[in-house]
Structure 1
């Protein structure tokens, strides 16, 4: 909680400083990498956040910076990993509109993750996703969708609430994952169980985990099934017909699904005008027109190059441009800290 209070104080401090002129992630990251004395000298100039800073006041007044290190040291270590010239460049401008369902300027936002930098980038992506969701999960917007493949590798704050409320705001949420335990590992068990309980449509290919198979088997439920048996003896042939409740789609069948085969439970939107019960469960194979897909891929338009770091001679000066921006932000934070220390 101390780390949360500290980070919240830094964010609010920059939101109020000069009407939010420096209220962006790079300035906050740079500020949090200053010394404890410089940070708290600046923060305590804002009376509005004194209550958030109360856990640190005694240590600050006594200049007990070792105690402050114990309270927020872990957060500073993690934050320092995010402060790179690349993250400063991406998050210091306003080139991308995050309200993708805006009626005046609809757009598509794609965030691609690299496994090599996933541990660092996931925090940055989460900040983008959480802000985007807050903007689009509201009334009077165009219909939109959140598609998260390998969902457990990214953190979306209160995703269970988003799944529960987004439909009323015409926002569809599609979450892709491998197995249920993977979701429970990266999110809390309570959140994972809530998501599993409130999603309206579920599609699954072959699964291997016992928990996932049990969940799917119970989800599809049981139906009355007939079994036939025939016995032949000297007296004649006897045929028996038995009815019993059995799993609609057994776990063994789900585990043995082949490529392209899927099972699922689809929310029915049409009224059932018959008295006969009709299940919304499905079990089948997806047939793809591979020729049509290949033809479509051949006609893809190349993505435009948004940034060009080349000079007039054509020399790539990307590192130079990014370092210039990196130094500029650090210098602005240094000037802010020095100016407030004079007060």
Structure 2
């Protein structure tokens, strides 16, 4: 019974609202009717040759304005009905987007023009909401480094708010999502209304992923790029080569580089990762012979070509076998299917078609997927870091899990090209282990916006404490004592001193609660920031990312993999056939043009000499006989 007055009040409010809307609607309907009558009466005038251009234009403007007013009136009615019938919320949202779509396009055009051409309106940076205030990062292009142990709140306090801000400011970019689809869902949510398309590489389900070709010939202007991309693969396959390269790892990189460059020069339509790895999986003697047929690739594997010619098969088999064993873990039908197509261009910040790419990893097989993720990010980063392109970002979550060549220099080199570099890691020891101490120090110094959460390593806590230096702290102490001979007499003393103390003790970084971070922002008047950052309140994504992909049978993957192997075998067979054909031509040429036979002349010379000797010996015998006959006669 207590709810009856409340229901009555709601009913009265709704009734009054409907009545007001009815009155307003009647007015609008009257205006539309009046406009319709005018248009009907003046239609003959508009289409007649005697009608002036200004009259036609005036009628067109009035018609559009009143027609749009009618659509807005329907939207208001729809909103009232949606409030009473919740299931109509989805069609209402669709109708609202449809009505305001032209204004959204106009806004995007003006926003993009102002950011690309450099309007007078200054870029305001990124903002983060804390429990007490709003923290602003004026220049995110100077690099952002967030350090915090597991559960410290890095993603909810920084990664997700950054994604929301980047979407609002029309940033293109690439995101490395270590726990796919944790960040991919947020990117899909915030970029759904931005007009920038979102693509994903899902190595967990190849049929629910977009496809790309990072070894497309257009990304390989010269052989140095092929070596960079080959190094991205081999260093993630052979982690020990990150710290120190030996003969085997260098030779493996040379061989992989030669395979990529050979396909680019001789078979550009097959220049992709599946064909490259299938070529490596062939017989090692056939592979080296094939690569030696091109002068450029032969120079890349000169030591292996020499070993083949000198029949040093043990050395040759060792180098090729080490690379074949390493790439076997990524040369699977599921992974190669993703790299066998091209649904989008890795020129991510193309001013004419900016996009956002999410490269997903899986913590269960992170080591296996690291080479593939590194290859895509390496190629995309080189396309990003160029002049006169769309403003972009590189967001790497748990980035020590994937090694990317020269990523430590991206904050410095990408600042002038409007690239916001954002790195997230759990601990400095993890960063050192993944990138060596030298590169970790360079990256730490390159990022000028730092935020530190709870860490569990005392060594890391000591380093973070030193980042804020020391401060002068005032100390005052009071001492009271009684006289030795007269207990009723007291001595009172007071001392004051100024001592240097750490701004933040190392233990402070080990005791921070979830979501609380200490940091320093570049180009800010504040010496440091110590705040509890709030997570973003976001609505649930209306659909799953996987739902945008069509259902395909599993045999599509295996059929493509077998097709690649057949094409590579055909390349080898054609090469062998060419060799056999050349050898047959050489044999036929020898038969048609035999070399002059000098042996007969030699034999004839020997016979002549023998005949002369025979004749001389015969003459000698005859003389002897004559001499003996003469002697008997005497």
Q: Taking structure 1 as the reference length, what is the TM-score of the superposition? A: 0.88
**SS at 1:264's partner residue?**
strand
Say whether 1:160 aligns with 2:408.
Answer: yes
Q: Aligned to 1:298, what secondary structure does the other structure show?
A: coil
Q: Which of 256, 273, 293 is residue 7 of structure 1 equivalent to? A: 256
- Alpha-carbon distance between aligned partners in 2 of 1:125 and 1:203, rounded to the nearest angstrom: 26
2:559: which partner in 1? 324
The answer on whether the counterparts of 1:36 and 1:65 sit within 8 Å (CA) in structure 2 is no
Q: 1:87 to 1:299 in 2, by over 3 A?
A: closer
More divergent stretch after superposition (39-48 vs 128-137): 39-48
Larger of the two Rg values belongs to structure? 2
- Aligned with residue 550 of structure 2, among 298, 308, 324: 308
CA distance in 2: counterparts of 1:287 and 1:133, whole angstroms: 31
> Which one of the candidate residues 292, 298, 301 is aligned to 2:540?
298
1:166-315 equivalences in 2 (<5 Å): 166-232=414-480, 238-269=493-524, 279-288=526-535, 293=537, 296-303=538-545, 305-310=547-552
Contiguous gaps of at least 5 residues in structure 1:
270-277, 311-316
Cα contact 2:409–2:442 (8 A) shared by 1:
no
Alignment deviations for residues 51-75 of structure 1 (CA, whole Å, 9 cap, x no partner): 2121112221134332212223222
Deviation at 1:287, TM superposition (A): 3.5
Deviations 1:68-103 (A, max 9, x none): 122232221011211111122100111122122111
**Structure 1 residue 2: Cα displacement:** 1.2
For residues 304 and 142 of structure 1, what CA distance do their matches in structure 2 show?
Answer: 28
- Judge conservation of contact 1:41–1:340 (CA < 8 Å) in 2: no
Distance 1:341 1:280, change over 3 A: farther
Taking a change above 3 Å as real, the CA distance of residues 41 and 280 of structure 1, as seen in their structure-2 partners, is same
Q: Does 1:148 align with 2:403?
A: no
Residue deviations 1:148-197, cap 9 Å, x none?
11111011111112122111111111111111111111111111111122
Contact 1:41 / 1:341 at 8 angstroms: preserved in 2?
no
Query: What is the CA–CA distance in structure 1 between the aligned matches of 2:321 and 2:506, rounded to whole Å?
Result: 48
Show structure 2 runs of 5+ residues with no match: 1-249, 482-488, 579-634
- Cα deviation, residue 8, structure 1: 1.0
After the TM superposition, which residues 107-122 of structure 1 pair with which residues of structure 2 at under 5 Å, given as runs? 107-122=355-370
Aligned residues of 2:288 and 2:308 also touching (Cα < 8 A):
yes
Shift of 1:307: 3.7
Q: CA deviation at 1:115?
A: 1.9
Higher relative contact order (CA 8 A, sep 6+): 2
Instruction: Compare 41-50 and 61-70 and name the one that shifted more.
Output: 61-70
Structure 1 residue 242, shift from structure 2 partner: 2.1
Q: Deviations over 1:177-232 (max 9, x none)?
A: 11111111111111111112221111011112122112111111111222232334
Determine whether 1:44 maps to 2:292: yes
Tell me the residue number matched to 1:92: 340
Q: Distance in 1 between matches of 2:530 and 2:503?
A: 10
Shift of 1:38: 1.9
Higher helix proportion: 2
Q: Which residue in 2 is equivalent to 1:24?
A: 272
**Where does residue 275 of structure 1 map in the other structure?**
none
Pairwise CA RMSD = 1.9
Tell me how far apart the structure 1 counterparts of residues 533 and 365 of structure 2 sit (CA, whole Å).
34
Matched-pair contact (CA < 8 Å) for 1:268–1:280: no
Between stretches 59-68 and 97-106, larger displacement belongs to 59-68
- In structure 2, the partner of 1:66 is 314
- Pair 1:335 & 2:557 matched: no
Equivalences, count = 322
Distance 2:550 2:400 in 1: 34
* CA contact 1:150–1:177 (8 Å) conserved in 2: yes
Shift of the 331–151 alpha-carbon distance from structure 1 to 2, 3 Å rule, reads same
SS in 1 for 2:327: helix
Moved over 6 A (4+): none
- Cα distance between partner residues in 2 of 1:11 and 1:172: 31
* Aligned 8 A contact 2:392 2:419 in 1: yes
What is the deviation of 1:309? Answer: 3.7
Which stretch of the first structure deviates more once superposed, 227-236 or 110-119?
Answer: 227-236
